[in-house]
Amino acid sequence: MTVPQAPEGWRKSTVSGGQTNCVEVGRAGDGAAVRDTKDRAAGYFTATAGQWSAFIAAVKGDRFEV
């Protein structure tokens, strides 16, 4: 995915509270960007809207092991 502009609207889960060892999600074009809160300067990865939707569906469908 080509990101036309820098991701914006970064947010992290309210479940993480004041912790800094989390990930943040931001809007990147029509998709999403994800970065590590411990090292925001390290960059981020992006996903298209379809990829992000598939990932969220997998998380909600409990398809990952803890």
Q: Which tens digit of pLDDT belongs to each residue from 21-61?
A: 889 999 999 999 999 988 989 999 999 999 999 999 999 99
Q: Report pLDDT digits (tens) over 23-33.
A: 999 999 999 99
Q: How confident is the model at residue 18 (pLDDT cuts 50, 70, 90)?
A: confident
Query: pTM of the entire structure?
Result: 0.77
Tokens 């994800």 -> residue: 34
CA distance 33 to 47: 6
Find, among 32, 29, 62, 52, the residue nearest to 44 by Cα: 32
Q: Are 30 and 5 in contact (CB under 8 A)?
A: no
Mean pLDDT of the chain: 88
